[in-house]
Each structure stands twice: as structure tokens, then as C-alpha cells.
Structure 1
Amino acid sequence: MIPRLARHQRGITLIGLLFWAIVISFLGLIAMRVFPTLNEYWTIQRTVRKVAHEGGTTVPEIRAAFERQKQIEYSITSISGKDLDVTKVNDQIVVSFAYDKEIELFGPVYLLIKYSGSSR
């Protein structure tokens, strides 16, 4: 006869443990690959806002100011000053940008992230 406690035991099986280890490892891999691109996006967003408010009044001045800031912020590698779209809305300069970032996860599997933002 099986003791009463043995019939009600619960726990994780080896297969369940392996499954969750694989899922958590995959999510960790994605997070490690995506976080640097998010950090770069946030830096670009901060730089674009700063340049729109302090960079100048003409398109070449704003692009040159972005390039100067880019040299200071070493993490910006995805875009340059020529990739910025500079417009004027209600006498306010609006600087916007958009770019794609392709991240290799493993083998032929890539993750494509489309970043865009503006100084507004």
C-alpha cells in the first residue's frame, strides 16, 4: 500500500525543468541582444531632442550639431546627421529619424526592429 503522502506529491519533472530552462535561456538571449539597441535608441532620442532645442536654425547646422553630439555619445552607430529629417512646425524645429536594426539571434535567425522617433 502506498503511503498517503506519496500519492499527493507534486513537483517538477526533468522534462519540465529542461523546458523552462530553454524558455528562460531564449528570453535571456533576446534580452541581451536587444538591450544595447534600446540603449542606443534612447541615446539617439535624447540627442535629437537636445539638437532640436539647441542645435541651430538651419538644416546643415542641426545635422552638424548632431554629428558633434554623436562624437561625444560613443554609442550612436546606426544613424548619422544625413539620416535626420528636419522640418519646421509652427515655428518650432522638429527633428525626426527612423532606422532598422537587424539582430542576429542564432544561425540564420534574425530579429528586425524598426526604430523611429522625433524631437516632439
Structure 2
Amino acid sequence: MPIQHRLRTSPRHQRGITLFGLLFWGAFIAVTAVVGLKVFPTVLEYYTVQRVVDRIAASNPATVPAVRQDFDKATQVEYSIQSVKSSDLVISKDNNDKVVIEFAWDKEVDLFGPVYLLIKYRGKSR
């Protein structure tokens, strides 16, 4: 029994993280958090635009100017929509005479120094 006890408390059998491992994971988590915090507002804007476009398309406006006017009204209420304007929307009708609204924009996120992240957002009404 004393031999087994010595083996369990031996330094060779101890587990844990080394200082190098701690620094590596700390840096990895920090960089991931910074990128996430800079990208999150753009993703939120995309989902807001998608929600507004779906709502407008569901009401099936009669004309293209009516769609653009509804989108402009929505951008006045939704403060997070800044990257796309009503003139950027591509508005058409499908075979069932239902309004289809498409949108697209590119967003550059400044990470650090000369490094940027380019995100291409594309979407259309359901």
C-alpha cells in the first residue's frame, strides 16, 4: 500500500497546465474575444436587415417605391441599420407574384494595424 501511495503523489504522475500552455490559451482566448467583439455588431446588423426585409416582403407591397419607402421608415426606427440603404435593395417578383427583396454589402472590420477582416453579407427575403 505505501508503494501505490508514493506513485500517486509522484511529480511524474501529476497533471495540469504548464506556463507555456497557460500563456498560449490566454492569448488565443484574448484574440478570439477581440475579433468577436468587433464582428458582433455587423452580424447583428445583418440579422436586423434580414428581419426588416422579411417583414416588408410578407406585407407584399404593390410597387418598388413602396418597398423602398417601407425600408426607409424601418431604418429610422432600427438604429443599427447603417450599411445598406433602400437604393441598394434589388426588388423583384417571383412566379407566384410575391415580392422578393435582395440585399448585399461588404463590411471591413479593422482588427489591428494593417489587418482587416472582410465580411460579405448577402441575403434575400423568404
TM-score range, shorter chain: over 0.9
| Identical residues among aligned pairs (%) | 52
Task: Give the greater-gyration-radius structure (CA).
Answer: 2
1:76 pairs with one of 81, 85, 91: 81
Aligned partners of 1:51 and 1:66 also within 8 Å: yes
Q: Distance in 2 between matches of 1:33 and 1:6?
A: 43
Gaps of 5+ in 1: none
Kindly report the root-mean-square deviation, in angstroms, between the aligned alpha carbons of the 2 structures.
1.2
- Is the Cα contact below 8 Å between 2:100 and 2:124 reproduced in 1? yes
Runs of 4 or more off by more than 4 Å in structure 1? none
User: Residue in 1 aligned with 2:43?
Assistant: 38
Consecutive unaligned residues of structure 2, counting only runs of 5 or more, are 1-5
**1:58-77 to 2 correspondence within 5 Å?**
58-77=63-82
Number of residue pairs the alignment of both structures matches:
118
SS in 2 for 1:48: helix
1:9 has 2:46 as partner: no
Give the alignment partner of residue 108 of structure 1, picking from 86, 92, 114.
114
Q: What is the DSSP-based 3-state SS (H/G/I as helix, E as strand, rest coil) of the residue aligned with 1:56?
A: coil
Deviation at 1:55, TM superposition (A): 6.1
Q: CA deviation at 1:61?
A: 1.1
Match of 1:98 in 2: 104
The separation in 2 between residues aligned to 1:77 and 1:55, in whole angstroms, is 24
- TM-superposed CA distance for 1:70, in Å, is 0.6
Q: What is the CA distance between 1:7 and its match in structure 2?
A: 2.3
User: TM-score, normalised on structure 2?
Assistant: 0.88
Q: Take 2:12 and 2:122, find their aligned partners in 1: how far apart are those partners? A: 57
